[in-house]
Amino acid sequence: MARDPRYDILFEPVRIGPVTARNRFYQVPHCNGMGRKHPTAMAAMRGVKAEGGWAVVCTEQCDIHVTSDTEREIRLWDDRDIPPLARMVDRVHGRGALAGLEPTHMGYHAGNFIGREIPMAPSGRPAHGILPFHARAMDKTDIADYRRWHRNAVIRGKKAGFDIIYVYAGHGLSLPMHFLSPRHNRRADEYGGRVENRVRLLREVIEDTKEAVGDACGVAVRLAVNELLGPRGITPDEEGRAAIEMLGELPDLWDVNVSEWENDSESSRFAEEGYQEEHIAFVKSRTTKPVVGVGRYTSPDRMVSLVRNGVLDMIGAARPSIADPFLPRKIEEGRIDDIRECIGCNVCVGTANQNTYMRCTQNPTMSEEWRRGWHPETIPPADTDDRILVVGAGPAGLEAARALGQRGYDVTLAEAGAELGGRVARESRLPGLAAWGRVRDWRVGQLRKLPNVEIFMASEMTADTVRETGAGMVALATGAVWRRDGSGRYHDFPLPGAAAQARRVLTPDDIMAGAEPEGPVAVYDDDHYYMGGAIAEKLARDGHAVSLVTPARAVSSWTEFTLEIDRIQTRMRELGVTLHLSHAVTRIDEREVEIEDMYSRRAARIEAGAVVMVTAQDPVDGLYRDLMADEDANRKAGIRRVSRIGDCYGPGPIAAAVFGGYRYARELGEAIGDGCPWKRETVELAAEV
């Protein structure tokens, strides 16, 4: 297909100082959990983005010195760190894109657990978050040292072959930003006080960087123009505007956003596409240099309007490039409905924050490009002539059927219900989660293009009907249900009263199916991801008096990793949900539940006409057990293998179900062998002992 001429503007080249980007698609720096520990996997992932049409592909933050150490990110501490990054540059160059590097000194944000150095800051202060250190105030020697370290890293970056090198002043994560923000800088010298002084270090580092790269690389500045903290922090009216006005023509590109990371990477539960526009829109009028911004943009029309309306010159993306590394190519080839849109769930962020290979709900091949040899667009053709039956059209079944169909297999997808999508269809109707429906929509759209996949609705399969299909391979993607008896992480056994009061005990499945609890509702959340908070939110919005009881110290505590935790706490309070943190439900009685404080074991009672148990899920695997009960009958029916995938195999996040579906399509349920099934980079032993 040909490109729609309306989108031509997105494919105009953009000059970034001495280098030229082939189009306006710009993958901004983003963490990925692979970084320095898995450099070849990281390089391959970046290379696939370049192949997918991004004109610029950047690294994550790159620690420049031992006084700013993080375990997971890449580094350029000395020349030994150049080869892993050069490998990434080669992959990116090999596919026609420019490679960008983001040298970083995290200042007070760095725990420095590796090198045990005392963190540094413009003024003395406690280190970030709850790190049990203090950062020391930098003197003039420290400032000179920092500038030299940055310059050294820049020179190494140039040697590695990067085309664009950043000065990083974003996300509350770097020294030039700490100097700019009033909340960190209480200095009385020429680096503190008036905004002209607070911007000095940023100016100096941009000048150092320009001088170090000469005309080999473009120099980009990533600047947080708003910390969303009012006058305590950087505001667009004061520091943001002043920095752009004073330094507007100095770098070759401005990459602007809001800080901190949880504001920059807001999830779709809390922010719509384009949520940063109001904060960054002023920048372009203050500089002639190209401006990049982000906002989870996946709509090409929106991208065009950003360029035409003079908001941005280049469309920045982290998450949309993770969910669909081929987004630019699809626009270029006129394949708009093939774009796999990011759902804004922040599972990528959450898994990178666990310091390991990032995963993506929409893109099961993310981080698997090198170690498993998976590619987001291509898949090996079928190598057997099996006919394959997939039972259940939730995210696992849809993805398995889609990817098997892409391989060329004849696939039958049977779904018991009247709609496609399984849990995704249900969960996307919870408040704020509508964008999650994209998991279903993209797969259904792709399936409609595959004549070799037949979909049967309202087809509840039994062992007999499965055997009648004549399929040689069977994948059961029959999902999971929430447990009703209150057992889970805190309680190993069913809760007293759960059976006796069964009429008043509900699960998220009941609420999503439209059950209307009577009277005040207690939500018991021993799951700790989004579901407990989302159910409480729905019930409160529906007008119920809601209490949320959880053994955790915060509602939806795993969302600390997806950067949503604070917003969820705020929302609970705004909706008037009564919180019983560090408490467990211990008994269910008529009109009341008993709860206990986890630490003191003191009991209390709260009024509740109904209890919603959000504790654990059980696989729906009755069909599997029925089939396996008569393997002879399976053989006679021509079935070679029966596999469980997705939540039916192991309940978990949607990302795991999609991954399970894709993996099945690649491996057809092959048993895991004795060795490690993927490639890995092992530690290189030192020559000296």
Where do contacts with ligand ADP occur on this chain (CB under 6 A)?
Answer: 391-397, 414-417, 422-423, 459-461, 477-480, 620, 623, 646-648, 657
* Least Å from the CB of residue 439 to ligand SF4: 8
Smaller CB separation from ligand SF4, 319 or 544:
319
* Residue numbers 359-378 binding ligand SF4 by CB under 6 A: 360-362
Q: Measured in whole angstroms, how far is the alpha carbon of residue 110 from the centre of its chain?
A: 22
86 binds, among ligand SF4, ligand ADP, none (CB under 5 to 8 A by kind): none
Compute the half-sphere exposure of residue 131: CA atoms within 13 Å on the CB side of its CA. 18
> Exactly one of 63, 252, 264, 338 is catalytic; which is it?
264
Question: Between the CA of residue 646 and those of 342, 360, 423, what are the distances in Å?
Answer: 20, 15, 11
Please state, in angstroms and as integers, the Cα–Cα distance from residue 184 to each residue in 107, 123, 177, 357, following that order. 11, 6, 9, 33
Query: Which contacts qualify for 492-498: CB closer than 8 Å, 24 or more apart?
Result: 495/585, 495/586, 495/587, 495/588, 496/586, 496/587, 496/588, 497/587, 497/588, 497/589, 497/593, 498/588, 498/613
**Angle (nearest 5°) at CA 595 between 592 and 599:** 170
In the bound state with ligand ADP, the residue whose beta carbon lies nearer, of 121 and 506, is 506
- Out of ligand ADP, ligand SF4, none, what residue 396 binds, judged by CB under 5 to 8 A for its kind, is ligand ADP
| Interface with ligand SF4, residue 567, by CB under 6 A | no
**Residues in contact with 3: Cβ distance below 8 Å, sequence separation at least 6, in sequence order:** 11, 331, 332, 333, 334
Distance between CA atoms of 283 and 225, rounded to whole angstroms? 9
Give the integer Cα–Cα distance in Å for 426 and 452: 27
**Cα(164)–Cα(79) distance, integer angstroms:** 19
Contact with ligand SF4 (CB under 6 A) among 45, 343, 391, 512: 343
Shortest Cβ 394–ligand ADP spacing (Å): 2
Q: Is 168 a catalytic residue?
A: yes
Q: What amino acid is encoded at 386 in this protein?
A: D
- 415, interface contact from ligand ADP, ligand SF4, none, CB < 5-8 Å by kind: ligand ADP
Is residue 28 involved in binding ligand SF4 (CB under 6 A)?
A: no
- Pick one of ligand SF4, ligand ADP, none as the site partner of residue 646 (Cβ within 5 to 8 A by kind): ligand ADP
Q: Which is nearer to ligand SF4, 392 or 653 (CB)?
A: 653
Question: Which span (36-44, 45-53, 343-351, 504-512) binds ligand SF4, by CB under 6 A?
Answer: 343-351
- From the candidates 30, 109, 150, 171, give the one annotated as an active-site residue: 171
| Closest to 415 in 3D by CA, of 475, 343, 471 | 475
Q: Which stretch binds ligand SF4 (CB under 6 A): 51-59, 110-118, 337-345, 544-552?
A: 337-345
Helices 82-94, 39-51: crossing angle, 10 deg rounding: 20
Give which of ligand ADP, ligand SF4, none residue 327 binds (C-beta under 5 to 8 Å, depending on kind).
none
- Residue 46 interacts with ligand SF4 (CB under 6 A): yes or no: no
By a kind-dependent CB cut-off of 5 to 8 A, residue 389 interacts, out of ligand SF4, ligand ADP, none, with: none
Q: Taking the complex as a whole, how short is the minimal distance between the CB of residue 608 and ligand ADP, in angstroms? A: 28
Given 21, 322, 447, 473, the residue binding ligand SF4 (CB under 6 A): 322
Please name the residue ranges forming H helices in 161-222: 175-180, 195-198, 200-213
Tokens 């799951």 belong to which residue? 527
Applying CB under 6 A, does 342 fall inside the site for ligand SF4?
yes
| Binder of residue 616, out of ligand ADP, ligand SF4, none (CB less than 5 to 8 A by kind) | none
- Picked from ligand ADP, ligand SF4, none, the partner binding residue 293 (CB below 5 to 8 A depending on kind) is none
Which of 26, 146, 166, 168 is catalytic? The answer is 168
Q: Which does 343 bind (CB under 5 to 8 A by kind): ligand SF4, ligand ADP, none?
A: ligand SF4
Q: Which is nearer to ligand ADP, 416 or 555 (CB)?
A: 416
CB atoms closer than 10 angstroms to residue 373? 13
Return the amino acid letter for 319.
R
Among 53, 84, 344, 432, binds ligand SF4 (CB under 6 A): 344
Closest distance to ligand SF4 from the beta carbon of 655 (Å): 6
- Compute CA distances 468 → 346, 382, 636, whole Å: 42, 23, 11
CA 286-289-292 angle, 5° bins: 90
Q: Helix, strand, coil % (nearest 5) of the chain?
A: 35, 20, 45
Q: Which of 26, 30, 31, 345 is catalytic?
A: 31
In the bound state with ligand ADP, the residue whose beta carbon lies nearer, of 258 and 416, is: 416
- The interface partner of residue 340, options being ligand ADP, ligand SF4, none and the CB cut-off 5 to 8 Å by kind, is none
Q: Is 533 helix (H, G, I), strand (E, B) or coil?
A: helix
Measured from the CB of residue 466, what is the shortest distance to ligand ADP in angstroms?
9
The Cα 628–Cα 645 span in angstroms is 15
Residue 478 interface partner, choices ligand SF4, ligand ADP, none, CB cut-off 5-8 Å depending on type: ligand ADP
Q: Between 212 and 477, whose beta carbon lies closer to ligand ADP?
A: 477
Dihedral angle of Cα 677, 49, 273, 356, to the nearest 10 degrees: 30
Residues 6+ apart with CB under 8 A from 544: 517, 520, 521
Nearest distance, CB of residue 490 and ligand ADP, angstroms:
24
Residue 347 interacting entry, from ligand ADP, ligand SF4, none, C-beta within 5 to 8 Å by type: ligand SF4
Nearer to ligand ADP among residue 139 and residue 460 (C-beta)? 460
Q: How far is the CB of 269 from ligand SF4 (least distance, A)?
A: 11
Under the binding rule (CB under 6 A), the answer on residue 122 touching ligand SF4 is: no
Q: ω before 594 within 30° of 0 (cis)?
A: no
| Contact set for ligand SF4, span 458-517 (CB under 6 A) | none
Segment 74-113, which members bind ligand SF4 (CB under 6 A)? none
Cβ closest to ligand SF4, residue 216 vs residue 444: 444
221 in Cβ contact with 201 (< 8 Å): no
If binding is defined by CB under 6 A, does position 64 make contact with ligand SF4?
no
| Shorter beta-carbon distance to ligand ADP: residue 201 or 655 | 655
323 part of the interface to ligand SF4, by CB under 6 A: yes
- Nearest CA-CA partner of 404 in 596, 195, 666, 618: 666
Per CB under 6 A, 319 contacts ligand SF4:
yes
Task: Provide long-range contacts, Cβ within 8 A and 24+ apart, for 4-12.
Answer: 4/300, 4/334, 4/336, 6/300, 6/301, 6/304, 7/300, 7/303, 7/304, 7/331, 7/332, 9/304, 9/307, 9/308, 10/300, 10/303, 10/304, 10/307, 10/315, 10/328, 10/331, 11/332
Clarify whether 409 is annotated catalytic.
no
Binding status of residue 339 toward ligand SF4 by CB under 6 A:
no
Report the alpha-carbon distance of residue 353 to residue 637 in Å, rounded. Answer: 47
Closest CB to ligand SF4 among 347 and 463? Answer: 347
348 binds ligand SF4 (CB under 6 A): yes
Tokens found for residue 489: 């992480």
**Shortest Å, Cβ 327 to ligand SF4:** 11
Smallest gap from residue 139 Cβ to ligand SF4 (A): 41
Of 120, 160, 152, 148, which Cα lies nearest the Cα of 136?
Answer: 120
The two structure tokens encoding residue 11: 């494919």
Render 222-256 in DSSP notation, one character per residue.
Answer: EEEEE-SSGGGS--IIIIIHHHHHHHTTSSSEEEE
Cβ nearer to ligand ADP, comparing 88 with 461: 461
Catalytic residue annotation: 31, 168, 171, 264
Q: Give the residues lining the site for ligand SF4 (CB under 6 A).
A: 319, 322-323, 342-348, 360-362
